[in-house]
Structure 1
Amino acid sequence: MQQPLFISHYAMVNPLGCDNKTIKRNLLAGNQDGIIVNNELLNEGPTHVGAVQADLPSLAQYPREFHTRNNQLAALALDQLVAPVNELKQQYGQQRIAVVVGTSTSGIAQGEQAMVQHLEQGEFASNYHYQQQEMGNLSQFVSVYLGVQGPSMTLSTACSSSAKAFATAQELIAADLADIAIVGGVDSLCGMTVNGFTALASTSAGISNPSSKNRDGINLGEAAALCIVEKQGTIKLLGVGESSDAHHMSAPHPKGEGAVAAMRAALSRAGYKPSDVDYVNLHGTATPKNDEMEAIAVAEVFGTNIPCSSSKGMIGHTLGAAGATEIGLCWLLLGENELAPHIWDGEADPGLPSINFVPLGAKSETKIKTCLSNSFAFGGNNVSVLIGL
């Protein structure tokens, strides 16, 4: 059992809103207004995506390589962390604050736009810089934005990227390479991911329908989720479980072996039993294979009574930001008795174990003290994160 760290602040921007109060209200209401039709990203026509519709800040004061929508989303969230980070810099120093973040798109959208102009006009736009689309761009920007100088790294393991960032942050602090870590993930919509997932027959024809017998795929989404991990606070980072089953490049193990291993590892590292957990945030992509294997895995580890739900019917699949975003949604639930609803058509798949999907408006009989959040990625890269009071 490892000594827990704490998540003292959380800042999020996603299709549910741009501040914790709004996001929590829309989450509990099952609001799907952030899932909109986009006519530009998919080569074959319109598609549904989870989009951030707020005005984003200008980054004109930063070097050109930081001028991306990805970093604009990050900046909107980071503004909420500036004050507490400044206090921590005074206490610990800039060199003792690490940055560990995940992304899968970085500034690829800017590369796409630059290539269109190059094909049409024979040259790149003056505001394009190759480094905009490098994965490490995000962690560099976060470090510069917050004025911190500790270890700075970006993880890119597809949909588990920002969940894995919590494990790396734990390791950096345990190794005394940092006292504080800024942890999270950011991903922005771009044509590459929308067309790529469509080519895999993994996107939905409408709004995604997690766990339903009628499910037909994901809606891509975008989000920023960043938090402060430190050695004191109220909400504990209890345990992070990781596994790599390497079953298939883009499909999960059909029996959920890697998912089971990750969930049990998170519980083991915290010294918790399955009965100690109050709620499970499902990866819940609404693809046929993911939802099948996850229902099997959750039933094996927790049985069929534990409340669980997927938020992806409200925010879409935010890829590299999904892990940190959904851990953040769990963070908002702790200490309350309101549960995040599972938004779907209610038509259960008879081929899946009958796990306990949370209906809209449901409340727990007791305060929620412990949540586990799942993130499962390409290549069988699985992460489960356990947080609690």
Structure 2
Amino acid sequence: MEHTLFINHYAMVNALGGDNKTIKDNLLAGKQDGIAINEVLLNEGPIHVASVTLPLPDLSGKRIEFQTRNNQLASLALAQLRLPVEALIAKYGAHRIAVIVGTSTSGIAQGEQAMTQLNLTGEFPDNYCYQQQEMDNLSQFISSELKVSGLSMTLSTACSSSAKAFATAQELISNGLADAAIVGGVDSLCGMTVNGFHALASTSAGVCNPSSVNRDGINLGEAAALAIVSKESGSVKLLGVGESSDAHHMSAPHPAGEGASRAMQSALNHAGYSASRVDYINLHGTATPKNDEMEALAVADVFGCHVACSSSKGLIGHTLGAAGATEIGFCWLLLGGTDFAGHVWDGQRDSNLPPINLVPPGTQHSQPITTCLSNSFAFGGNNVSVLIGL
């Protein structure tokens, strides 16, 4: 039996800031300062990425396998959730609180640093162990930090990882396997992803330009986004999650957006909502030629060209395993207000794309925003759309 689930708390860290107020202010302002040139990550030279520049917690006193940048980002977000998690533990017990999170890099950056030292000195550094790179490291760290002992898992489906975490949490709670869940994702910048996407000719020569005729690829970013999903009544509901897997190609989406359309329609069906009830769509909007084309086709197919849309990739980069939860978090921040998150680009439309309603910064809705959809589309055609609302 399905229960109405609520997203009662949200904590985020990304290139826009480390707290909800700062992030919302910079999101609405269309601030792009967080995307800057990095001279280290790409083997072939400088590249634009969206780094977190805030001071991060010192984890040197933690277990060695938890000493990673990925977990530092997670720790900064977790600090904002400790009190509500303690209240849930007191009510339900630590064994009834699940941890369902996504990542694509885990502690790979520490492995890269360790290999560099091994090649130079013949020895690994003292503060390195292979467990830092394991995908389940993130969920283990969060469970340990929050002292919860319920089901704990890390999902890794590339760019849809942390959006899928909401689907899994919904299934666990609805089936009585947990009473609440810490849900979200964390991903940190590392050489593997930067050089990998560059090798696929998917990175932008400058700051990315979603939906533009001049778009040429992504900027990678890093982020943490963690939320509490539970049956505890609150203002924001997790209305529906739609998933599909079109498996069209290993690294390219279905050109007509068939899987993306199915995911969006499935989210609406799950909620029992019509397309006309959605006020805003946070696009996956990577600024790669194929993604933006197929997503515009899919949005036009399901919603037409009137609903307000924007991509946040031009502000925070593509945060991979953290992207889904981060952009659902942006929708969470918009609910109840009248301000849309604006689409930041050069304004040069691609005439081959359907003319979906890309709203500029400063655009306001005529009434409070009550329903938002967030899209996350991953390699292999793994598609997730999450619908939330008041």
Matched letter for residue 49 of structure 1: V
What residue is the counterpart of 2:159 in the other structure?
A: 159
Is contact 2:2-2:174 (8 Å) kept? no
Is contact 1:335-1:367 (8 Å) kept? yes
2:341 corresponds to 1:301: no
> How does 1:243-322 map onto structure 2 within 5 Å?
243-322=244-323
> How does 1:107-118 map onto structure 2 within 5 Å?
107-118=107-118
What residue is the counterpart of 2:361 in the other structure?
A: 360
Structure 1 residue 360 displacement after superposition: 1.5
1:2-43 CA distances to partner (integer Å, 9 max, x unpaired)? 543100000000000000000000000000011011000000
2:154 aligned counterpart, secondary structure: strand
Matched letter for residue 175 of structure 1: N
What residue is the counterpart of 1:24 in the other structure?
A: 24
Matched letter for residue 281 of structure 1: N
Is contact 1:5-1:238 (8 Å) kept? yes
How far apart in 2 are the matches of 1:73 and 1:233?
27
Q: Which runs of 5+ in 1 are unaligned?
A: none
1:88 aligned counterpart, secondary structure: helix
Matched letter for residue 161 of structure 2: S
Structure 1 residue 132 displacement after superposition: 0.2
Which deviates more, 59-68 or 249-258? 59-68
> How does 1:1-389 map onto structure 2 within 5 Å?
2-231=2-231, 232-389=233-390
Matched letter for residue 77 of structure 2: A
How far apart in 1 are the matches of 2:61 and 2:172?
31
2:383 aligned counterpart, secondary structure: strand
TM-score, scaled to structure 1: 0.99
1:206 aligned counterpart, secondary structure: coil
1:200-240 CA distances to partner (integer Å, 9 max, x unpaired)? 00000000000000000000000000000011211000000
Q: Which runs of 5+ in 2 are unaligned?
A: none
How far apart in 1 are the matches of 2:113 and 2:229?
36
TM-score, scaled to structure 2: 0.99
1:184 aligned counterpart, secondary structure: strand
Matched letter for residue 371 of structure 2: T
Is contact 1:4-1:239 (8 Å) kept? no
2:142 aligned counterpart, secondary structure: helix
Percent of pairs identical after alignment? 73
How far apart in 2 are the matches of 1:30 and 1:234?
26
Matched letter for residue 293 of structure 1: M
How far apart in 1 are the matches of 2:236 and 2:173?
17
Matched letter for residue 258 of structure 2: E
Is contact 2:336-2:368 (8 Å) kept? yes
How far apart in 1 are the matches of 2:175 and 2:60?
37
Is contact 1:38-1:47 (8 Å) kept? yes
Structure 1 residue 60 displacement after superposition: 2.0
Structure 1 residue 61 displacement after superposition: 2.3
How far apart in 2 are the matches of 1:110 and 1:36?
22
2:165 aligned counterpart, secondary structure: helix
2:384 aligned counterpart, secondary structure: strand
How far apart in 2 are the matches of 1:60 and 1:42?
28
Matched letter for residue 262 of structure 1: A
Matched letter for residue 315 of structure 2: M
Is contact 1:2-1:270 (8 Å) kept? no
Is contact 2:2-2:175 (8 Å) kept? no
2:74 aligned counterpart, secondary structure: helix
How far apart in 2 are the matches of 1:99 and 1:69?
19
How far apart in 2 are the matches of 1:170 and 1:306?
26
2:164 aligned counterpart, secondary structure: helix
How far apart in 2 are the matches of 1:96 and 1:18?
28
1:365-387 CA distances to partner (integer Å, 9 max, x unpaired)? 01000000000000000000000
Question: What count of residue pairs does the alignment treat as equivalent?
Answer: 389
